[in-house]
């Protein structure tokens, strides 16, 4: 694929409403790479919460709006979330199996939707954007990567986030026991199965703490929000950061809201 001159940012609900600084980091990095970022103003939820809760009629209503909105512009769509990315690229096909018009739209859109790290590595061919931390081993930024379930299992993106982290000078990736285990969030899962979710979170935090990392990095703010809550309750000295934030900080820049 030829390097696109512009992209559409599907910012996701949780980033737009709770973590806008993450969206700003994504925009900052893409613009630094020479790409114009367009943000469709009328975008809403991708429909995943309703879909996962079994309210498929409501999910279809939201999904139709998303498909119409993102289909009006032929530019690639960058999504800083494996969860929302999986919903749009895979689950829309299921939602519209009996609606030929929107099924066709969903297939066409899915071919130009990319999770943020996948876009950088697979489309732009970049693993080192020039991010740097410190000047020596003593200044190394030790981080633990958390592969979110939808990104890893839904989109099959295993190597791209790790490649981008490996490209950051002065960043040391911590070894984490059972790294690919779920953190317990899973959207509606953490609401419907709170006790199980809490147990999974406890295991995840225990392994993160044992890794000696100072930060946990992921590509999904849902997972990071879930872990941040547990970290605060336990009084752990562990930061949570989206991959885009780490890359931007390594460039010596900080998004302004």
Summarised one tens digit per residue, pLDDT across range 80-137 is 999 999 999 999 999 999 999 999 999 999 999 999 999 999 999 999 999 998 755 4
In angstroms, the Cα distances linking 185 to 164, 201, 225 are 24, 8, 9
Q: Are 29 and 247 in contact (CB under 8 A)?
A: yes
Determine the angle formed by the axes of helices 56-71 and 100-110, rounding to 10 degrees: 60
Mean pLDDT calculated for residue range 140-163:
94
Segment (H or E) for 76: none
Strands (E), the chain: 6-9, 36-38, 77-79, 113-115, 141-145, 171-173, 215-218, 239-242
Residue 60 pLDDT: 97
The three-class DSSP label of residue 240 is strand
The DSSP line for 153-207 is IIS---SHHHHHHHTSBTEEEPP-TTTTS--S-TTHHHHHTHHHHHHHHHHHHHH
Per-residue pLDDT of 186-242, as tens digits, reads 878 888 888 998 999 999 999 999 999 999 999 999 999 999 999 999 999 999 999
Structure confidence at residue 256 (pLDDT): 42
Question: CA 44 to CA 17: how far, in whole Å?
Answer: 11
Q: ∠70-76-77 over CA atoms, to 5°? A: 55
Q: Tens digits of per-residue pLDDT, 24-76?
A: 999 999 999 999 999 999 999 999 999 999 999 999 999 999 999 999 999 99
User: Does residue 98 sit in helix, strand or coil?
Assistant: coil
Residue 253 pLDDT grade (very low, low, confident, very high; cuts 50, 70, 90): low
Counting residues of the chain whose pLDDT is more than 70, the rounded percentage is: 95
Distance CA(68)–CA(223), nearest Å, equals: 28
Among 210, 190, 131, residue whose Cα is nearest residue 163: 131
* Residues facing 36 on adjacent strands: 6
Share of the chain above pLDDT 90, in %: 88
């Amino acid at each position: 694929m030829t390097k696109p001159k512009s992209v559409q940012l599907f910012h996701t609900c949780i980033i737009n409403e709770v973590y806008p600084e993450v969206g700003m980091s994504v925009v900052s990095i893409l613009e630094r790479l020479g790409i114009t970022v367009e943000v469709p103003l009328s975008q809403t939820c991708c429909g995943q919460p309703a879909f996962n809760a079994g309210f498929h009629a409501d999910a279809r209503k939201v999904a139709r709006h998303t498909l119409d909105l993102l289909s009006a512009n032929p530019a690639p769509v960058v999504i800083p979330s494996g969860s929302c990315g999986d919903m749009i690229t895979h689950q829309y096909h299921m939602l519209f199996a009996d609606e030929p018009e929107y099924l066709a739209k969903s297939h066409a859109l899915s071919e130009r939707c990319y999770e943020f790290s996948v876009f950088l590595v697979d489309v732009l061919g970049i693993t080192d954007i020039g991010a740097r931390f410190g000047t020596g081993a003593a200044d190394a930024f030790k981080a633990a990567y958390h592969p979110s379930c939808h990104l890893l299992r839904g989109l099959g993106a295993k190597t791209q986030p790790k490649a981008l982290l490996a490209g950051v000078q002065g960043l040391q990736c911590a070894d984490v026991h059972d790294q690919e285990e779920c953190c317990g969030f899973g959207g509606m899962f953490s609401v419907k199965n709170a006790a199980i979710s809490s147990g999974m979170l406890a295991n995840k935090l225990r392994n993160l703490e044992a890794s000696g990392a100072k930060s946990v990095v992921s590509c999904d703010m849902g997972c990071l929000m879930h872990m941040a809550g547990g970290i605060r309750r336990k009084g752990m000295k562990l930061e949570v950061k989206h991959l885009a934030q780490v890359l931007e900080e390594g460039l010596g820049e900080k998004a302004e809201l």
